Chain A
């Protein structure tokens, strides 16, 4: 275990009642020359300042301590529902200094504010919504409807936003999973609730011009910090971190302007059902203009780990794909997969292949084992199925542009179960930021049934 993780793994082992012995070489190990690795081994453990090899040999031979013979689990204490009464100034400071926020101004979750937020659902405050943690193996932290309401208050949400935030919590997926690779996340809302709570799915949907988009996306990260127990450098080990963590690209799909079925319908939900879908990846890789051919060309230039590609496309791009002959998103995705092959040599040159695909190949797992035997110039399709490509229609028909992300869809959860039976609980005068100015007479953009100027076929 490299020294960077020393405190984390030792605390984790104690928490699990498994007092393992560790030796810690310096870090990093990845990418280091043999000479450097040899220096690591022959040098000192930077945590104990003792020779690393002495740590290793003693770990195997020195007698067990009583604690190692009879380990106990270090349990975290359950927390009181309320914090000690204090002044607003002191409490605000406490939240910031304890690392319970994202560093931006927030709303203190007083009992009154949380009670008001709870009017946004019929579910009981004490109902457990889920468990979350930002690493895969640590103790999961449990949270109730009331805890989620406190987070929603902190994010600046109103009760009308609460059902979407509860559905996000029900995914049990943190927006900030811990990885040195620095994950980013994305979330998209489908169904009637988008319009009922005033989400922006059109022009500038991914920019900070919409209250619902902003506070819902933010709430996901505030719950990840507090439910996922995220602590930078302690258990959140992202080398760079990720700016998307602030808001997680929260927006709605532009179902009204899309010629294709909405994303949630692709995933088996009813069109009239409201659903939140979450994605995980790293980067927005580029923006592009053009047809499926250009989309295939762009993703064929990425080595990567063969993860999914999610295109966020303006509605004009969807219309263009339709006129090119793709009746469904899946048709387009299938064509893109089949036409984005890369030379096997290019694929195996990727550093990340060493950790995943190369191991699979060694173990005989297909298709990696077969790919490893191919000549360097043999074409392979790292994204093997149309399911490895997602198309989300977002934007305001300003231009037929798309952005490419390496995001994988991980889960879609229905929002409807969290909506009160009496309907979404709006404020008497709902808060709305100015709506983006759009084409006033509906004549802008490519007509829905324009003939294709450049039909795409398999021969292309």
Chain B
């Protein structure tokens, strides 16, 4: 309503819904990333981080390649850096299944069961 040159206008911004998108599963059609109806979503709960290691000596660190171009080469160089600077650290490069947009619970389970001590995921963007 216009009163004395003043206007009341609606706020055009969307309202926060509390609903977040999540990664597609590894078996998803790659084109599902195009379709918000195929992308899983839902409410989320806070998740605390895993306890940190006291030291990296003798530990196994997984280097998980996410799928963005250049990531594999970057992780290979990071692996070389560990070999040069932390020779006691065992590093394993693994490719995440599917694309950069998909989850890979199978790989996370495998890492836990095979004695992985830590993981570095990369490279995003």
**Residues in chain A within 8 A of chain B (CB atoms):** 1-2, 4-5, 9, 15-21, 25, 27-32, 34, 37-38, 40-42, 53, 56-57, 60-64, 68-73, 75-83, 85-88, 91, 95, 100, 108-112, 114, 131-133, 135-143, 146-147, 150-151, 154, 172-173, 180, 222, 226-229, 237, 280, 351-352, 354-356, 359-360, 362-363, 408, 410-411
Q: What is the CB-to-nearest-CB distance from B46 to chain A, in angstroms, rounded to a whole number?
A: 3
> Complex: how many Å from CA A147 to CA B98?
37
Which of A2, A136, A237, A280 is the one whose CB lies under 8 Å from B123? A2
Q: List 8 A-B contacts (CB under 8 A).
A: A20-B49, A37-B77, A57-B56, A60-B53, A60-B118, A111-B9, A140-B41, A352-B69
User: Which B34-88 residues have a C-beta within 8 angstroms of A?
Assistant: 34-37, 39, 41, 44-49, 51-56, 61, 67-71, 73-74, 77-78, 80-81, 85-86
**Contacts A34-B77, A87-B7 hold; do A1 and B122 have CB atoms under 8 A apart?**
yes
Contact A60 B56 (CB under 8 A): yes
**Contacts A34-B77, A408-B34 hold; do A64 and B11 have CB atoms under 8 A apart?**
no
Contact B10 A227 (CB under 8 A): no
Contact A154 B68 (CB under 8 A): no
B125 interface hit (Cβ, 8 Å): yes
Contact B9 A142 (CB under 8 A): no
Contact B124 A88 (CB under 8 A): no
Q: Please provide the 4 A-B residue pairs with the shortest distance between their CB atoms, ordered closest to farther.
A: A141-B14, A17-B46, A76-B16, A29-B70
B8 interface hit (Cβ, 8 Å): yes
B31 interface hit (Cβ, 8 Å): yes
Which residue of chain A is the closest to B78 with respect to CB atoms? A41
Residues from chain B with Cβ under 8 Å of A109 in the complex: 9-10, 12
> Complex: how many Å from CA A76 to CA B15?
9
Known A29-B71, A85-B8, A226-B14; 7 more pairs at CB < 8 Å: A30-B70, A81-B10, A91-B7, A110-B1, A131-B19, A150-B10, A359-B67
Which of B15, B118, B122 is the one whose CB lies under 8 Å from A79? B15
Residues from chain A with Cβ under 8 Å of B120 in the complex: 56, 60
Query: When A and B form their complex, what is the total count of cross-chain residue pairs whose Cβ atoms lie within 8 Å?
Result: 242
Residues from chain A with Cβ under 8 Å of B9 in the complex: 82-83, 91, 108-111, 150
Contact A78 B49 (CB under 8 A): no
Count of residues in B whose CB is under 8 Å from the partner chain: 69
Which of A62, A83, A87, A139 is the one whose CB lies under 8 Å from B16? A139
> Complex: how many Å from CA A19 to CA B77?
26
Which of B7, B14, B74, B77 is the one whose CB lies under 8 Å from A110? B7
Q: What is the CB-to-nearest-CB distance from A290 to chain B, in angstroms, rounded to a whole number?
A: 30
Contact B20 A5 (CB under 8 A): no
User: Which B99-124 residues have a C-beta within 8 angstroms of A?
Assistant: 99-101, 118, 120, 122-124
Residues from chain A with Cβ under 8 Å of B15 in the complex: 78-79, 141-143, 147
Which of B46, B52, B53 is the one whose CB lies under 8 Å from A72? B46
Which of B6, B81, B101 is the one whose CB lies under 8 Å from A86? B6
Max chain B Cβ within 10 angstroms of own Cβ: one of A71, A131, A180, A229: A131
Which residue of chain B is the closest to A5 with respect to CB atoms? B125
Q: What is the CB-to-nearest-CB distance from A58 to chain B, in angstroms, rounded to a whole number?
A: 9
Which of B1, B12, B19, B71 is the one whose CB lies under 8 Å from A139? B19
**Contacts A16-B44, A83-B9 hold; do A37 and B125 have CB atoms under 8 A apart?**
no
> Complex: how many Å from CA A77 to CA B118?
36
Residues from chain B with Cβ under 8 Å of A222 in the complex: 12
Which of A9, A41, A351 is the one whose CB lies under 8 Å from B81? A41
